[in-house]
Structure 1
Amino acid sequence: MNLSCIIIDDEPDAVDLLELLIKQSTEWQLKAKCYDALEALAFLKKNHVDFIFLDINMPQLTGMELATLLPPQTKIVFTTAYSEYAAESYTFQTIDYLLKPITLKRFLSSVQKIEPYFLKHQSERSVNAETDRDYFFVKSGKAFRKISLKDILYFEGEKDYVRLVTLQEQLLIYRRLKDIEQQLLQPFIRIHNSYIINSEQLVKIEDNHIFIGDKRLPVSEKFRSSFMEIIDKKKF
């Protein structure tokens, strides 16, 4: 699973061991190694990571003190040589509590906690996104129009704006197609630099074109493979 993390620990040997375990056992991206709390705070202000490995006993600020300064949603795996902090650690968004020295067996056990944790939360976000995105509002003149996603045929990029084509009408949205794409989930599929279609409204695919509504739209070489990969899953 592709997750990002950082290590915060003032002991170089402990950092090196944890880095080695991450590289050998996971596909995670280790974005930084911070050797004190202040360095970590500076990094986290400018960079996002999925979770942090956080040592408890550090100079200047302990791991527990640092945890109180982080955004409350920060996910933490505590690392320490002392077991007495375990209960207190779970007052934060703690995924696991690793006692040093960290063995390969114990690290692999932690991986089995961390990855399912994020898979579960990603699934929940996906379900919520599907529920929340049945419609959206589009500014048209001085008013905001409510548009049902199921009624959309396609989006067409035209320089500095996007043409939204539905079953009933066409509206101009003063946004870039790329920005709109980032807010859409399937069944919306990018088929061309200029087009995103609602695959539920798709009527036919022929050669390098699709038919949707009364329109024939091109499928570009750039997007053909990803488009057909989705379509292949719907074939009998």
Structure 2
Amino acid sequence: MSLRCIIIDDEPNAVNLLEVLIGQTTQWQLLGKCYNALEAMDFLKKHTVDFIFLDINMPHLTGMELAGLLPKETKIVFTTAYAEHAADSYAFKTIDYLLKPITLKRFLAATQKIEEAFGNVVAVNEKPEGKADEGYFFVKSGKMLRKILLDEVLYFEGEKEYVRMVTGIEELLIYRRLKDIEEQLSAPFVRVHNSYIVNTRLLSKVQDNHIYIGDKQIPVSDKFREVFMAVIRQRMF
């Protein structure tokens, strides 16, 4: 089951973070992004969603006020930097209450609650079908199929309709979109830029919004920074 959702939040960075988390960790359809309550009300009149991510502190009409105007069966995941609204949030069909800044670990826990709320339970350790779970994959090279070990891949770089796969000893061009490659990868690979997916196990350092891996310096874009740093923080002492 592919759940349909929207994000309602007046903070662009918070919206971008949720969009990346949804795209990288779920099979849900993000139908829209609304930056105020009035925009959201208009959107919901025209579209059917399964649940909404709703910020509480918004100008003109707060998330709580908006929730009170929505149909009572509307399922909500509240997002806010303030814990004091938690009790009030459960006056609605609240699935979860996420405190900002939202970490990857906390978001993954929320996905379990959301899936369970719709009877679509996914085991915590279950990998999506089609992932490169065995530690290797095959790449077509001329008339051959080359076996590539994932542990040896430094990064993938998108180049229009091609993806450049770089290991410590070679580079190969794969006739695939970077998004298609991303869908078949899981940790330790993380998207850090529209053009790059990196192997976090093989990076040497992170400095000034750049990753250093092999002899390559790779930028970390604003869109993917929070998710990437959430992964890094899990390995910090």
TM-score normalised by structure 1 residue count: 0.50
Q: Going by fraction, where is helix more abundant, 1 or 2?
A: 1
Say which one has the larger Rg. 1
With normalisation by structure 2, the TM-score equals 0.50
